[in-house]
Amino acid sequence: MDKESAEGLRPEGGPGYGLGVLSGEPGRGNQRLQRRVIPVLVGGQILGGIGMGATLSLGSLLAAQLSGSNAWSGMAATMSTLGAALAAVPLARLARARGRRISLSLGALIAGTGAVTAITSAAVGLFPLLLLGLMFLGAGSAVNLQARFAATDLSLPGSGGRDLSIVVWSTTIGAVLGPNLFDPGESVGAALGLPPLTGAFAFSVAAQLAAAVVYATGLRPDPLLTAMSARVPDPASPRPQGGLRILHTTPRARYAVAAVALSHTTMVALMSMTPVHLRDHGASLTVVGLTISLHIAGMYALSPVFGWMSDKVGRLRTILVGQGMLLVSLVLAGVAADSRSAVTVSLILLGLGWSASVVGGSALVAESAQLQDRPALQGISDLTMNAAGATGGALAGPVLAAAGYSGLGFISLALVAIVIIWSALQSRQSTLNQEQP
């Protein structure tokens, strides 16, 4: 029995389980296809990341301008997150019915439509239209999340975490390049006669269209449909289930989805309030920008390391490593909130903890259901992740006002405690199951 089975985190037997294609060894043709799929997903992620990174930051400025009040600026992130949450399940259902190629390319096109709508809203001066455009743009985030699962459709056994993490890592490139397109975007926008603050949205339109083309042309044959057609038939296999049904019947799936969602909530809650805290304590925009940049680097730069760890050491142990880093981050934020260097270190650890938890948790989500049921469970996971993150960001402001940055750090420890306790219970239950005759 291998290490993952001993932890009770990889089902033994049953077609479509694990991160391999077949209940046996995947064919050489599928291995060759997987070597093509990963670069396609990476390319789409880079393009999508550039488009999102170039517009979401400006969305808050445009929201304040069109609404006439800074109080509405936070609606940019809220509507984008809402859009990602609303798109997650429909895109997952489309993937199960028509494949990843159709689902990912359509999501990118919806995001591009959102960028066009945002430009139009500035031209006509309609704030509600901007909110609609930002919600459509959120579909781009849903595509980015689904792409990491698409990387596992044809993975060899024992390499799913690595493949998933490579796609997650590629988000770093777009996240870094996107914000640097603000000034060039304004120059291009002026040349095209676009309203102020909308030039970067034009870049987003081009990037999302290019991503749609990459997915539509590069994912042939479709990895998910190929994996499902290659699966060994099993007359006893149940009919495809919905994501909520899988959560109800599969404790492992509940744990994996909760670990990802709670880790994401912890990260969003502290990260979203850090710029406000630093500015209130006299930090310059340069210091704030550097702190957030280092945090983003922590989120993505080492994801391949955590992917390797989840394959070799185990999903549960990788999640616990992530929770340990989140715990240290929150304690540091709580006890040293007045130190800029300590806050910076805290944000780096926050990003690393998020990365380990989400990579390990996502790999576990991908193997917690039969192959034909994975898209449904993945869609529910992405929906839960986005909804939980939006809730964490919304509640972080009142907590910051009432308890300060230190209080926010200490209160957020409750979320980490839930995951750690649940992990211990999951491990204990798995041990008991292994001991049963």
Asked whether residue 7 is assigned to any structural domain, the reply reads no
Q: Is 357 exposed, middle or buried (0-12, 13-18, 19+ CB in 10 A)?
A: buried
| Whether 195 and 304 share a structural domain | no
Asked whether residue 2 is assigned to any structural domain, the reply reads no
| Whether 209 and 247 share a structural domain | no
Q: Is the pLDDT of residue 42 over 50?
A: yes
| Whether 251 and 171 share a structural domain | no
* Range 36-55 average pLDDT: 83
CATH number at residue 119: 1.20.1250.20
- Percent pLDDT > 90 in the chain is 41
CA distance 153 to 150: 5
Which helix (DSSP H) or strand (DSSP E) does residue 211 occupy?
helix 199-218
CA distance 370 to 367: 7
Which of 38-47, 52-61, 110-119 bottoms out in mean pLDDT, i.e. has the lowest? 52-61
Asked whether residue 3 is assigned to any structural domain, the reply reads no
Q: Is 411 exposed, middle or buried (0-12, 13-18, 19+ CB in 10 A)?
A: middle
**Token pair of 320, please?**
């616990």
**Token pair of 285, please?**
């925009």
| Whether 164 and 65 share a structural domain | yes
Asked whether residue 294 is assigned to any structural domain, the reply reads yes
Asked whether residue 397 is assigned to any structural domain, the reply reads yes
Query: What does the DSSP assignment read for 8-21?
Result: T-S--SSTT-SSSS
The closest of 263, 347, 57 to 176, measured between CA atoms, is: 57
Amino acid at 299: M
Among 188, 212, 231, residue at a domain's last position: 231
| Whether 368 and 426 share a structural domain | yes
Higher per-residue confidence, 32 vs 405 = 405
CB-side neighbour CA atoms (13 Å) of 86? 15
| pLDDT given for residue 105 in this prediction | 97
| pLDDT given for residue 367 in this prediction | 86
| Whether 248 and 369 share a structural domain | yes
The closest of 178, 206, 179 to 192, measured between CA atoms, is: 206
Among 206, 231, 256, residue at a domain's last position: 231
Q: Is the pLDDT of residue 234 over 70?
A: no
| pLDDT given for residue 11 in this prediction | 37
Among 190, 210, 231, residue at a domain's last position: 231
The total number of residues shown for the chain amounts to 437
| pLDDT given for residue 170 in this prediction | 86
| Whether 437 and 350 share a structural domain | yes
Higher per-residue confidence, 163 vs 235 = 163
| Helix axis angle, 303-312 to 315-335, nearest 10° | 140
**Which residues form the domain of 316?**
240-437
| Whether 195 and 277 share a structural domain | no
| Whether 397 and 345 share a structural domain | yes
| pLDDT given for residue 431 in this prediction | 60
Listed in sequence order, the residues at least 6 apart from 401 whose beta carbon sits closer than 8 Å to its beta carbon are: none
| Whether 219 and 270 share a structural domain | no
* Range 293-321 average pLDDT: 90
Q: Is 296 exposed, middle or buried (0-12, 13-18, 19+ CB in 10 A)?
A: buried
**Token pair of 343, please?**
């806050």
A 10 A CB-CB count for 249 gives 12
* Range 409-435 average pLDDT: 84
| Whether 102 and 46 share a structural domain | yes
Asked whether residue 10 is assigned to any structural domain, the reply reads no
Check residue 158 and report its DSSP letter: T
Asked whether residue 5 is assigned to any structural domain, the reply reads no
CA triple 186-190-193, angle to 5 deg: 135
| Tally of domains within the chain | 2
Long-range interactions of 243-250: CB distance < 8 A, separation 24+: 243/89, 243/92, 243/376, 243/377, 243/378, 243/379, 243/380, 243/381, 244/380, 246/368, 246/369, 246/373, 246/376, 246/377, 246/380, 247/377, 247/380, 250/368, 250/369
Asked whether residue 185 is assigned to any structural domain, the reply reads yes
Cα end-to-end distance, the chain, whole Å = 15
| pLDDT given for residue 130 in this prediction | 92
Which of 201-205, 253-257, 402-406, 426-430 bottoms out in mean pLDDT, i.e. has the lowest? 426-430
Q: Is the pLDDT of residue 73 over 80?
A: no
The closest of 385, 26, 32 to 229, measured between CA atoms, is: 26
| Whether 216 and 279 share a structural domain | no
**Token pair of 47, please?**
């393009």
A 10 A CB-CB count for 60 gives 17
